[in-house]
Chain A
């Protein structure tokens, strides 16, 4: 005999550690893991306890993307990381465009904007921020040149209609940006010369006689200033879904139950010739809440999310490797705290 729980009533542990997904609303969203909130539970901060409970697991790592689980932190910290990744980890991006000649159909300001958004493969930690009044030096600026002129292709046949074959340089690509090393940059970056991350980004299209001749300056910046300095395409997290079944779901209901979830979330196992639904991989669930629409599953299923289990996905634009992004974000966060801490000490001393 399987004991029936009342899924409408939430015990205190569920309220503390889970976000509850209901048919028409999401409840118990705020974190309440603070001292004095729960009798008998000591929730005061303790570094040793934190170290013991905190877990990281890397699920997936490719050239541009990383997915990892972070368990045992508050949403405030997870969200701080997300915000820092998007807006506060510095990168290099084109911020000044000096137009010598531009006879293409793309006007100067649009061209400058397009150039600005091209991700640049350069280690931002090797450069300084350039203040507005500061002059450009090899320590705060990278110079790239783009000098392209479109011509007719003398080898193309007279009946050729494809512009790529008929003309030379009919399309200007990011790969046409040539790095012009200044100072000791050539020596410093000889192992990995500075260039756009991708060589095949279309900047403009030209026809015979048209020319683009520009010099661009890359500077160090952060995403808060302009999105072109953001090192990530996306940085998101979601909470681990959890599907709880009250008692057993058998027979045709089990098949229906399975179809309420994406593939791989629920399995059907046969026990003594009876089909039974079993949750095997709740991680794959999109939490569509389809299952909560049917009266036959009422009080039989409960959807929750684990409040301190974050599934992070970071997709880099390519200038910083995805596994280095989080480490750099942590550094930014620590610097932020240290800065305020110094200011606090200075204020206390001056009073």
Chain B
């Protein structure tokens, strides 16, 4: 059959670059990035992160064709920086951003499990809770978490 292989969606073939930069010939400080094997998930998020940078004048993306698994991202910046530099910043910021989300979620997860566990106990002495939570937190991270996966 002539159906394309499904893994073409996300496996980068040999010799193909993940990212290519084409500077714009007509607009100053503008470039087009072509990112292979990525979709709206990353493209839309990058667009958002780029727009939050005051030095970005324009950021937009499109997926030219649903059967081609790449997107193009157009960026124009102020003269004191370059599109590539701004994109690098945006990626760093996204990683930090999402990393801090992960930390916050994990803390909340432990807290939630702790209070589920304490739901039956009638103790309202906060020092007591504080003390035991500390042990629970340690226990959760060193025993429960690694053991969770069988």
Residues of A within 8 A of B (CB): 31, 33-36, 43-45, 47, 50-51, 54-58, 61, 68, 70, 73-74, 76-77, 79-80, 83-84, 88, 123, 125-126, 132, 189, 191-192, 222, 224-226, 321, 323-324, 326-327, 330-331, 333-334, 336-345, 347-348, 351
Q: How distant is the Cα of A333 from the Cα of B49 in the complex, in angstroms?
A: 14
B118 contacts partner chain A, Cβ-Cβ < 8 Å:
no
A192-B149 in contact given A44-B54, A76-B48 (Cβ < 8 Å): yes
The reply to whether A334 and B54 form a contact with Cβ atoms under 8 Å apart is: no
Chain A residue nearest to B18 (CB atoms) is: A343
Q: Which of A126, A323, A347 contacts B109 (CB 8 A)?
A: A323
Contact size class for B? 35 or more
Other A-B pairs, 16, CB within 8 Å; known A43-B52, A347-B84: A34-B51, A36-B54, A45-B97, A55-B104, A56-B105, A76-B44, A76-B45, A77-B45, A125-B149, A222-B10, A330-B99, A337-B94, A337-B95, A337-B98, A340-B19, A340-B35
Across-interface contacts of A348 in B (CB, < 8 A): 21, 84
Q: Please give the distance in Å from B59's CB to the nearest CB on chain A.
A: 9
Q: Top 4 nearest A-B pairs by Cβ distance?
A: A192-B150, A343-B18, A76-B48, A45-B52
Interface residues as binary, B123-150 with A (CB distance below 8 Å gives 1, 0 otherwise):
0000000000000000000000001111
CB within 8 Å: A-B pair count: 144
The reply to whether A225 and B7 form a contact with Cβ atoms under 8 Å apart is: yes
Interface residues as binary, B94-129 with A (CB distance below 8 Å gives 1, 0 otherwise):
111111111011101100110010000000000000
6 A-B interface contacts by CB (under 8 A):
A61-B112, A77-B48, A192-B150, A339-B18, A344-B91, A347-B21
Chain A residue nearest to B87 (CB atoms) is: A344
Q: How distant is the Cα of A189 from the Cα of B47 in the complex, in angstroms?
A: 43
Q: Please give the distance in Å from B117's CB to the nearest CB on chain A.
A: 12
Across-interface contacts of B150 in A (CB, < 8 A): 123, 189, 191-192
Residues of B within 8 A of A (CB): 6-7, 9-10, 17-21, 35, 38-42, 44-45, 47-49, 51-54, 84, 87-88, 91-102, 104-106, 108-109, 112-113, 116, 147-150
Q: How distant is the Cα of A21 from the Cα of B108 in the complex, in angstroms?
A: 32
The reply to whether A77 and B98 form a contact with Cβ atoms under 8 Å apart is: yes
The reply to whether B42 and A226 form a contact with Cβ atoms under 8 Å apart is: no
Q: How distant is the Cα of A336 from the Cα of B94 in the complex, in angstroms?
A: 10
